[in-house]
Homo-oligomer: A and B are copies of this chain.
Amino acid sequence: MESQDLRNAGLKVTAPRLKMLELFEKAQDRHLTAEAIYRHLLDAGEEIGLATVYRALTQFEAAGLVTRHHFEGGHAVFELERGPHHDHIVCVHCGRVEEFYDESIEKRQRAIAEKLGFNLRDHTLTLYGECNKPGCKGEKNAR
């Protein structure tokens, strides 16, 4: 139950927060912008403010419920923190996001950080490429 996630994070269980978590659960695309969340909820007839979305996302992130990504494009993208760590590959044409995990890369990262005298805390690895999905080829999201 999402209410429990919120309580565990020391946050009050409110309608906007629950709606946001539900949206993350059922959305086809696991990677959402604040604006997208706001619109989806408005369209679904919910009464919510954009500021609330941002505030909740920041709190969710602090609580580890959600991860904030800075892909290209000037806006942050949020993703529900379900399951184990993974990195991303983003289609430069249609914006589609796939996830992957590669233990050998993770291992090398740890070795590199150690060699350079850093105590590794986190990392971001994002690949950018052209996906081969039908209907993609640079139609949507034309930069």
- Assess the A126–B123 pair: CB atoms within 8 A: yes
Chain A 103-143 interface mask (CB, 8 Å, partner B; 1/0): 01100110011001111111111111111110000000000
Which residues of B have CB within 8 Å of A125?
109, 123-126
Which residues of B have CB within 8 Å of A124?
124-126, 128
Q: How far is the CA of A117 from the CA of B91 in the complex (A)?
A: 10
Q: Tell me the count of chain A residues lying within 8 A, CB to CB, of chain B.
A: 33
Dominant secondary structure at the A interface:
strand
Query: Which residue from B71, B123, B133 sits with its C-beta under 8 Å from A127?
Result: B123
Chain A residues near B (Cβ < 8 Å): 70-72, 89, 91-92, 98, 100, 102, 104-105, 108-109, 112-113, 116-133
